[in-house]
Amino acid sequence: MYLRRCRPTKCKKDHMYWELVESYRTERGPRQRVVAYLGDVGEAERIGVEQIATERVGWQSRLFDEGPKPEWMEVDTRRVRVERVRDFGGYWLGLQASEQLGLISLLDSMAHGREEIPWSMTAMILVLMRLCEPASELRMAEHLYERSALDDLLGIPADKVNDDRLYRALDSLLPHKSELEKHLKERLGQLFNIEYDLLLYDVTSTYFEGQSASNEQALPGYSRDHHPDCKQICIALVVSREGIPLGYEVFAGNRNDVTTVKEIVEKIERQYGTAGRIWVMDRGIVSEKNLEYLRAGGRRYIVGTPKSQLKRFERELLTEDWQKVREGLDVKLCPSPDAGETFILCRSSSRKIKEKQIHERFERRLEKGLTKLTESCLKKKPKVGVVERRVGRLLGANSRAAGLFRVKVTTSEDGRTAVVWEKVEAWRQWAQLSEGCYMLRSNISDWDAEQLWQAYIQLTEAEAAFRIQKGDLRIRPIWHQKTERVNAHILVCFLAYVLWKMIGQISKRAGLGDETRKVFDEIAQIKVVDVVLPTKQGVKIRKRCIAQPTKAQATLLQKLQLHLPQRLKIYEM
């Protein structure tokens, strides 16, 4: 790195400004990029920065002022004031995680060209803002960026950040999706000794605000967000048993989950090889065709099974040879009639109570509705077709107990329509026997029932990944209209989620458990302020100080082995 002098004309006077510039090599020859705008600095500051620039140091050494030598001045204490209180802790923690992941250096190596602000640094703005205060690109540029300490941490002044530059960064980031996925997967595996032997796969959806007419993937479909009136896309995600993401794909909003399995499996094997992995999927993604495809390639799997198949194992439900996994949960292995597969029966006491309450609630609703319909037929003379449709709607709205009732719509001799219903006790007996029970299916032959159940229950990590992206990172709703911008938005959310998991793994290693949100929120409360000190000589000293952490924050930083700097260097923009 080196200092570059520039002389822009301002108000017909020449001013000398300095920029900290980094030189790097590309396929098309050497290129330079601006690391920080130093402004009109004094000679002493210039020499100090120049000395630092000649050394191979990271972004922290360039930004933080940790000089041990004291400086003494006479200060007018009555006129001391504080200016520009900004958010610091969350962005600084995100940069720490990015540095350990090698994300900053990877993005820098991807950025070629002679832009005034490299798109790699603008992409870091998008990722860090998505992690700390997710919002639209327009809101980031107009309001949120100047309220954060990113201008100091990244060396990009607020007047250089606008929505057009952020959109261009999205366009430049998207082509590097596969390379980013590979790098982050390998880096996380190295840092935390993660073995990607168990892959959890799930699908969710996220909806749009607007027509999204130019996005061919934005289509109506089954909305998991309870917005059936909005267009949507489907997102398929693969994570490890620790919730570490390996990759994702975006599908059309009307895509059936079952049809995505082959594409995802081939994508993962194409990127990371065909090593022996175990695929774990929920019952909504599984079909016989998918299982045949997995078996044909020698792939192992543990999948959920529709509850309707429990009827085949009614005799096993009645026996007492269950294996207790933990309090309130029993499992049992049941060989499949077809060789090569095993079914795992699971019985949960808490789930039994919940399903029993659901059946009772829907039974009461149906009984009340049918009684009301019967009384209505006695008072009026509705047509048979009208009554049958009302019965159908009632049963459809209470499907969890619809099998308990046998309903007939008849016509009496006097021409009146009557509703006759009775309860099917055989259905009730089966419901009581199967309440709290569910079944898994696997082609792994050398594991016991408890191991298979433990592996399947890790699927909650994939569900948690979607909850974090939808809740904490606000992947929804999507306001972009173009297909490429939508995919880039999801990529930014993916990178922010990787930082989230990185912070979570660091916290877990430090003995802080899995409370990533609590750890992040506590450190994010740390602010940076400008302290203005009027001196006896009439000069105002301005120091950019980082707020002293509280006792709880200091304890967290100590456990995380992170050193919070005291001051930031001030570069007049």
| Domains in the chain: boundaries | 1-57, 177-301+451-509, 302-450
| Residue pLDDT, tens place only, 230-250 | 999 999 999 999 999 999 999
Rounded distance between C-alpha atoms, residue 209 and residue 94, angstroms: 29
What's residue 208's pLDDT?
93
Rounded distance between C-alpha atoms, residue 546 and residue 530, angstroms: 9
Cβ atoms within 10 Å of 176's Cβ, excluding its own = 18
Rg (alpha carbons) of the chain, rounded to whole number: 31
| Percent of the chain whose pLDDT exceeds 90 | 65
Which ranges of 196-302 does DSSP label H, i.e. alpha helix? 261-272, 288-296
Name the strand (E) or helix (H) holding 246. strand 245-252
Residues in the chain: 573
> CATH class for domain 177-301+451-509?
alpha beta
What's residue 339's pLDDT?
66
| Residue pLDDT, tens place only, 111-150 | 877 788 899 999 999 999 999 999 999 999 999 999 999 9
What's residue 115's pLDDT?
80
Rounded distance between C-alpha atoms, residue 366 and residue 379, angstroms: 20
Rounded distance between C-alpha atoms, residue 48 and residue 29, angstroms: 30
What's residue 509's pLDDT?
92
Dihedral pair phi/psi, residue 195, rounded to 5°: -105, 120
Maximum separation of any 2 CA atoms in the chain, in Å: 110
Low-confidence ranges of the chain (pLDDT < 70): 1-3, 5, 7-18, 23-31, 36-69, 339, 569-573
Query: Which one, of 516, 533, 514, 535, lies nearest residue 524 by Cα?
Result: 516
What's residue 17's pLDDT?
67
Residues 6+ apart with CB under 8 A from 297: 265, 274
The neighbouring-strand residues paired with 148 are 87
Is the Cβ–Cβ distance between 219 and 253 less than 8 Å? yes
Six-digit token string for 258: 């079952």
